Structure 1
């Protein structure tokens, strides 16, 4: 039989309302009484009724996570980091996947508002103006994950310009001068535009020519990496290296290079971005920029917890460092 507030109240010698207030975090009893109530509740194995608790505290102990695609290992690892900290603070996650589509993002922001979530983590798409506007209007405590926004919203992300620069500089340090890029969509500031900027800046700083025809757009998937390299080799078969803005496109690049009768890294070196499991499954293993996906998740949930509690943030925008993984797909020339 389930333990009730009455059982705890009788054991401690206080009223049911006192037990309810203490268990719901309302400090209207002495320190000794609160301690005894929590101890008795634990000893009896009391399990609070979450619905009833929500009516008292006006909190649902739920967090809404709007995320692009859990089938993508990058987002799955971000979500794992979020879930670990949410569980630590006794929050349940309501996960909504959007495919990065604005229509879906707006739908789920409204849905999560109706469900009265205590906070929201946004890790989807390009954060269009419509989403920023709606988030302001809902007044739900929000943290943006892996996306830099101009708005006054707290965020945790990486510096895509800096990390892309690091990848291209590694190729340059290995003697490469004709370096092509498989980019994301330039309309996507974070994974698209900023990574292109990092590529160009590295070339410019090392007095190497930026050739726009050697930048071919992909969609971060393997097949687009194959098609991009096929196009690049038609434009200039003398390139010695490729920087891919995702590991999947990097592995696609390796496949296309081999299909063209060339070898990696003997003829063309390849470096990716993310450090997904696919980077280790390729032959040769793909050199890459390793993103701290799980840390992006847990740091953003820690930040959201502080926002929900009304605590002041030391930093509203946190940049996490990445790591260069040197592997067999790059050689010195």
Structure 2
């Protein structure tokens, strides 16, 4: 498990400061492994450290840290009768407030967090040097009052609008891909499945067309909501700002109508051609999973071509 700056940045952009709760150490049986993390903000959270009373208590602590802008907190829990969990092991959680300044100061490879004050001990300096030189396995390590964590490389931002059948299929196929930071947008929390992959940021927005302005300029966007009107509004708003790519689910007739309406809204033909419709590979069929496979294939092909072009000019 690693610190995922893109995931944290997406949450901060929308919600302001957030608390990252990480399982810093695990002894015996536990619901999740060391390095598992969740983000908590005022009014919501993403990710999970296993649910149950442990997660509830961790979320309560996170809200206190947010309210007081408190320093990082280390807590140890026995997963026994006192928490109503039968795992039988013990976990150590580290909860920490993150804002843009802290994110900007994050090192690129490995980060060490001082949890007890004082100078960095020799054991921690050695562990950091080994991790940065590739001489030791990278992973979450709690050592002598310091938390050592690897930092994920920059991920490509992908915003998916719509948590219906196609949206769910897309997230299931795309979430396991490395170096991809997914923000999943819909109008209500009840539209999402009960379980969301840890590297996917759930973003509930009454009007998704307004929050797309918060997306990074290099984000790719896939539009597949339950409403043609909302799809059109998203297309309109995204054409007003930079984006790495815009994809829209739909038929030829839907796209013809959208082109006419986007023209009426003042967009030129060149601007409208930034939108790809339909997405995926039509020859694979219209089943949600087939659409997801086609989209994943197109994304991977595009990234491989971009990487090859970058290497050729280096």
Q: Which structure features the higher share of strand residues?
A: 2
Q: Which has the higher helix share?
A: 1
Q: Same fold (TM over 0.5)?
A: no
Give the TM-score normalised by structure 2.
Answer: 0.34
**TM-score, normalised to structure 1's length?**
0.33
- Structure showing greater radius of gyration is 1
For CA contacts below 8 A with separation 6 or more, give which structure has more relative contact order: 1
